[in-house]
Amino acid sequence: QRLGIAELLMRDCRVVILDEPTSGLDPQSTRELLALIRSLAADGMTVLLSSHMLDVVETVCTRVALFNRGRIGFIGTVEALAARIGGGVYVIEVEADAGDLPALLSGLDGIEAVIPTAHGGWQIEARADLRAAIARRLVEAGIALHTLDLRRVRLDEAYGRFFEEADRDA
């Protein structure tokens, strides 16, 4: 992999296409290669990366393209993908002594879904960071709040929803 990239650097390429660049690499070599790819992109090189390793794609790519039945189904950021498929861009993870959190949060603008998790908590998909509003609702209801974390939708989550939607529409 490094030899191929070194050859591209010697040729002063402006665009590089990498197909599964981390395939067969150990974790340290993977980290080094991804750092090099980020560096090349920061220096102005256009890097087109093809990979089934969505966690790798998410760490180096600013935009993604999803293909469905041989055609481009989406091009854009992970956040734009999440917004397009109707899920929230934000994922708020809640652990609280609330039996019926969906009912408690009903009517709160911006919530797309309230989903129970395997460990007894809740995952809330939202269009904005609603942690303050959620905490306020819980406290006003006298419910003990143990955890309230925020993260962005991951590419694998958005990818899965995109293809579920595509299958429904087929």
In this prediction, residue 162 carries a pLDDT of: 85
Non-local CB neighbours of 98 within 8 Å, separated by 6+ positions: 104, 122, 138, 141, 143
Q: Which of 79, 74, 78, 47 is nearest to 166 (CA)?
A: 74
Phi–psi pair at 44, nearest 5 degrees: 105, 0
How far is it, in rounded angstroms, from Cα 139 to Cα 122?
16
In this prediction, residue 86 carries a pLDDT of: 62
In this prediction, residue 8 carries a pLDDT of: 73
| Domain ranges within the chain, ordered by starting residue | 2-62, 88-152
Domain 2-62: top CATH class: alpha beta
In this prediction, residue 156 carries a pLDDT of: 85
Domain 88-152 has CATH 1.10.3720.10: no
How far is it, in rounded angstroms, from Cα 113 to Cα 125?
5
DSSP-based three-state secondary structure for 137: helix
Paired tokens of 96? 């609280």
In this prediction, residue 77 carries a pLDDT of: 86
**Within this chain, domains 2-62 and 88-152 share the same CATH topology:** no
Average pLDDT for consecutive 10-residue bins of the chain (170 residues)? 73 86 90 90 90 88 89 86 72 86 92 89 90 94 91 83 81
**How many other C-beta atoms lie within 10 A of the C-beta of residue 168?**
7
Report CA-CA distances (Å) from 156 to 55, 108, 115, 153: 7, 27, 17, 8
